[in-house]
Amino acid sequence: MKACVFTLGCKMNEAESASLMRGLEELGYETTDELGYADVYLLNTCAVTAEAERKSRQAVARARRFNPDAPVIVCGCASERDAEAFAAREGVTLVTGAMHKDRVLELFGSRGIFREAETAFCELPPPKRSRTRAFLRVQDGCNRFCSYCIIPHLRGRSRSRRAESVLSEALACGAKEIVLTGVDLSSYRDGETDLSGLVRLLGKVPARIRLGSLEAGIVDDDLLAGMKEAGNVMPHFHLSLQSGSSAVLRAMNRKYTREEFLSACEKIYAAFPDAAITTDIIAGFPTETERDFEASLSAIDEAGFSRVHAFPFSPRAGTAAANLPDLPASVKRERTARLIEAGERAEKRYLSGFLGREMTALFETDGGYTENYLRVYADGAREGELCRVRLVKAEKDGARAEITEVL
């Protein structure tokens, strides 16, 4: 029997799906994450934007085209938001939500809707083994309530995994690189162990450790010192800016100013001069003026980002920002395009500083990633190999490299 576990959305969903695949294999299923012919489908959905929710609904129809007789099970944020709509779709036999995904395996073969609140961290089976990169869930939920974001309403309040459990899975997973994931990783706290303490603890793991998305406020001397002490944490920081305007940040209910964000970047570069800082920026938030938008553009240069993910504001019903007058779609499109262009210039500028240098890269099926998350391509590289490489030429989405040593 073949089970397809198809994932939409964030790295957290990917980590959860990898665990569900491992659990299904223990039940005797052959698993795949590619949407194709299968005997049963498990769709892990997303609702961060209206488009993500639409694609989640489409996934049901896509699965049924491959095998109209196979049962379809739906979990995740989109089904948490509207379980009844998914349950009404032809072929869907079971609907759960964004929480208690551990119950999906218990309920396999059941019918109906199952959703309930969650007050503790949901432990899942260890993820399906990978020779290269594994996503390790350490936190779930969010207490921040950014004015544009629906996720705290769907994922619930912040809760963290026991540090000993995190370490145990990290030691056993077998991957050469482990990415710590959470809905709000910055809020990780297990008793007296916060994120900096967890980082120090994971220094015992013989693998590269990479941090997921962080809030600027978590970047302090303790975290940076913890990363240095651990010795295996990669100098790549994803700090979501969202806007370069302090006025817009207040309207977004973000808990920092432009100046505080840029100060966090300066602290990172002081500790890790070669660090990569990637970010997300929203174009066309309802209160954003042209002057506010220009502040976002200038922040790209001032922060020295290595990559920018820019996207237009999308109102989500149930959030505070959805009650604000939306800007014209043409304005949002134009501003998004300008952000993307500025981001591409920043990416080229950052990459150019490493051409001719030797770095360490972990290779996957199509290229590899250096310590600071530069994508590299090298002839003769094999999946799962950790190599010393020399970056020789810029390419569209990374750099051509020569292998100097296989580690």
* Structure-token pair, residue 52: 């993500």
Q: Distance between CA 104 and CA 206 in Å, rounded?
A: 32
Amino acid identity, position 180: L
Q: Distance between CA 215 and CA 84 in Å, rounded?
A: 34
pLDDT single digits (tens) 70-84: 999 999 999 989 899
pLDDT single digits (tens) 202-250: 999 999 999 999 999 999 999 999 999 999 999 999 999 999 999 999 9
> β-strand 40-45 against 177-181: which pairing, if any?
unpaired
Decide if 394 is inside a domain. yes
Same domain assignment for residues 153 and 21:
no
Give the contacts of 363 (CB within 8 A, at least 6 positions apart).
Answer: 132, 378, 381, 382, 383, 384, 385, 386, 387
Decide if 206 is inside a domain. yes
Q: What CATH number did the domain enclosing 397 receive?
A: 2.40.50.140
Q: What is the mean pLDDT of residues 345-370?
A: 94
Give the contacts of 105 (CB within 8 A, at least 6 positions apart).
Answer: 20, 23, 24, 27, 125
Same domain assignment for residues 381 and 261:
no
Decide if 184 is inside a domain. yes
Give the contacts of 227 (CB within 8 A, at least 6 positions apart).
Answer: 199, 233, 235, 271, 272
Same domain assignment for residues 210 and 331:
yes
Same domain assignment for residues 155 and 258:
yes
Helix, strand, or coil (residue 174):
coil
Same domain assignment for residues 36 and 160:
no
Q: Where are the beta strands (DSSP E) in 261-319?
A: 276-283, 307-312
Q: Does 130 have pLDDT greater than 80?
A: no
pLDDT single digits (tens) 287-326: 999 999 999 999 999 999 999 999 999 999 899 999 999 9
Same domain assignment for residues 193 and 257:
yes
The predicted structure's pLDDT at residue 396: 80
Q: In the chain, what percentage of residues exceed pLDDT 90?
A: 77
Q: What CATH number did the domain enclosing 159 receive?
A: 3.80.30.20
The pLDDT-based confidence of 132 (bands split at 50, 70, 90) is confident
With 0-12 CB in 10 A as exposed, 13-18 as middle and 19+ as buried, what is 267?
A: middle
Residues 142 and 187: beta-carbon distance below 8 Å: yes
**Other CB atoms within 10 A of residue 99 CB:** 22
Residue 374's domain comprises 358-406
Decide if 124 is inside a domain. no
Decide if 125 is inside a domain. no
With 0-12 CB in 10 A as exposed, 13-18 as middle and 19+ as buried, what is 221?
A: exposed
The pLDDT-based confidence of 2 (bands split at 50, 70, 90) is very high
Helix, strand, or coil (residue 194):
strand
Q: How many domains does the chain have?
A: 3
Same domain assignment for residues 183 and 318:
yes
Q: What CATH number did the domain enclosing 97 receive?
A: 3.40.50.12160
Return mean pLDDT, the chain: 93
Same domain assignment for residues 146 and 239:
yes
Decide if 128 is inside a domain. no
> β-strand 213-214 against 236-239: which pairing, if any?
parallel
> Which range is least confidently modeled, 107-111, 190-194, 265-269?
107-111
Same domain assignment for residues 180 and 275:
yes
Same domain assignment for residues 401 and 310:
no
- This prediction has a pTM of 0.90
Q: In the chain, what percentage of residues exceed pLDDT 70?
A: 98
Decide if 22 is inside a domain. yes
Decide if 127 is inside a domain. no
Same domain assignment for residues 330 and 401:
no
The pLDDT-based confidence of 9 (bands split at 50, 70, 90) is confident
The predicted structure's pLDDT at residue 118: 67
Give the contacts of 192 (CB within 8 A, at least 6 positions apart).
Answer: none
Backbone CA torsion sign across 54, 60, 61, 62: positive
> β-strand 375-377 against 368-370: which pairing, if any?
antiparallel
Query: Residue for token digits 């899942």?
Result: 124
Same domain assignment for residues 154 and 244:
yes
